[in-house]
Amino acid sequence: MGNQLKVNVAVVGATGAVGQEIISLLEKRDFPINQLKLLASKRSAGKTVMFKGEPVTIEEATPESFAGVEYALFSAGGTISKELAPHAVRHGAVVIDNTSAYRMDTDVPLVVPEVNMDAALKHNGIIANPNCSTIQMVAALKPLYDRYGIERIIVSTYQAVSGAGASAIEELLTQTKDILDGKEPQANILPVSKLPVHHQIAFNAIPQIDLFTDNGFTYEEMKMVNETKKIFGDEQVQVAATCVRIPVVKGHSESVYVELKNDYELEEVKQILANAPGVELVDSPEEQKYPLATDSADKLEVFVGRVRKDLTHPRGLHMWIVSDNLLKGAAWNTVQIAEELIKANN
Ligand code: NAP
Ligand code: 3JN
């Protein structure tokens, strides 16, 4: 993004797993920045982060941090977004929020640029970034939704620990080392919960992400249900999700089963996916090629493979969808929205 009007940008949660990826993308993509403000908690104030070869000092995020800021990119948790995003808007900034704080608000667009960038252009100051598991699923399914219609989606996720923040990455690495060293592993972080109960993630799979709701599904699972309906603008699309944490550092994988509304030809489905924006089809079973979390790490695309017809339902379709959860699932989707807004305003 060169040769454009330069803007003042604030990153809230600049020291976190998502915030660090946002900063790195702003640098790599030559985002047109005039002034960059890096905000975090009081604990981090005074530390420095290198940006384009220069040290930038982290400041404590406060209501007055946003004076002169035009784009405020939030990833410091929902409580901070609720507290500070209205102040950023008051100061005239456009907020792009990575948390669930505003996602379901009717006057806040919930945006994946490949799917519904038009909604972002009608914002009232705040634009919400969906949950990572939703983003990669809807990015891949939208072109199929447009061509055939979708009746029902059943998804099981295999989510990387980086989705639960820097401390969860540390926990997986420490537990793995301790087990290999013959020591008793300590579990203090996962699953993220209000109960003082945690499980070993190394060499394991934990079928709980976020807290449980009253219906037996977790909040992460219900985010996939409700956010998909909002992004597609379709209350009728049926979604059921099971979200599972696995011992992978980067890259969420998803087994997705969809029932389309209209008949389809498998080859046409693959062609549509191969041509879809932001999507890469990796589907050569004869060569054992399919999307892998390790291959998706540090990439911006959503990878789709194992595309196959269901054997029991005439309009049923299976696929495997993988993406870097901290990039397309969070930081890249945020920066991409900001880039598109800047393009639209030029
Ligand atoms: P993380 O690694 O734990 O980082 C948390 C960040 O929030 C740090 O920069 C931290 O600053 C900052 N923070 C904490 N308390 C603060 C306060 N009182 N004032 C200002 N900043 C404060 O977490 P993460 O993985 O980056 O995730 C952060 C948030 O992003 C999550 O809570 C979630 O809402 C959202 N997220 C969204 C997705 C998605 O699916 N789109 C994925 C992951 C995360 P200090 O270092 O100073 O404590
Ligand atoms: O666990 C994951 O893989 C994704 C986690 C996302 C997350 C973590 C803490 C709080 C969210 C989110 O984006 O939905 C939130 C939240 O803001 O509710």
Instruction: Choose among 252, 233, 262: nearest CA to 115.
Output: 233
Which tokens is 298 given? 């540090």
**Which secondary structure element, helix H or strand E, spans residue 57, and what is its range?**
strand 54-60
Instruction: Choose among 287, 281, 265, 271: nearest CA to 319.
Output: 281
| 52 and 144 inside one domain | no
Burial of 157 (0-12, 13-18, 19+ CB in 10 A): buried
**What's the mean pLDDT in 135-139?**
98
The domain of 220 spans 134-325
- Position in ligand 2 atom list of the atom nearest CA 329: 4
> How far is residue 36's CA from residue 11's CA, in Å, rounded to a whole number?
8
What's the angle, vertex CA 56, arms to CA 12 and CA 162, rounded to 5?
A: 45
| 321 and 334 inside one domain | no
pLDDT tens-digit profile of 294-342? Answer: 999 999 999 999 999 999 999 999 999 999 999 999 999 999 999 999 9
| Res. 3: pLDDT tops 90 | no
Query: pLDDT above 90 covers what percent of the chain?
Result: 97
Please tell me which residue in 198, 252, 313, 318 is annotated as part of the active site: 252
> How far is residue 242's CA from residue 253's CA, in Å, rounded to a whole number?
12
> How far is residue 110's CA from residue 117's CA, in Å, rounded to a whole number?
9
| 104 and 242 inside one domain | no
**What's the mean pLDDT in 197-217?**
98
CA 174 from centre of chain: 25
340 CA → ligand 1 middle, Å: 24
| 156 and 85 inside one domain | no
| 267 and 124 inside one domain | no
| 167 and 268 inside one domain | yes
Active site residue 252: yes
pLDDT band with cut points at 50, 70 and 90 for residue 1 = low
> What distance, in Å, lies between the first and last C-alpha atoms of the chain?
12
| 206 and 301 inside one domain | yes
75 CA → ligand 1 middle, Å: 5
| 154 and 293 inside one domain | yes
Domain CATH for 189: 3.30.360.10
> How far is residue 298's CA from residue 186's CA, in Å, rounded to a whole number?
29
- Position in ligand 2 atom list of the atom nearest CA 325: 3
Within the chain, how many helices (H) and strands (E) appear? 9, 13
| 185 and 263 inside one domain | yes
Q: What is the mean pLDDT of the chain?
A: 97
> How far is residue 14's CA from residue 136's CA, in Å, rounded to a whole number?
23
Residue of minimum CA distance from atom 15 in ligand 2: 99
pLDDT band with cut points at 50, 70 and 90 for residue 346 = confident
Residue 2 forms part of a structural domain: no
Residue 250 forms part of a structural domain: yes
pLDDT tens-digit profile of 167-187? Answer: 999 999 999 999 999 999 999
| Res. 192: pLDDT tops 90 | yes
Q: Which ligand is nearest to the CA of 135?
A: 1
Domains of the chain: total: 2
| 125 and 138 inside one domain | no
Contacts of 345 (CB under 8 A, 6+ apart): none
Is any atom of ligand 2 closer than 6 Å to the C-beta of 323? Answer: no
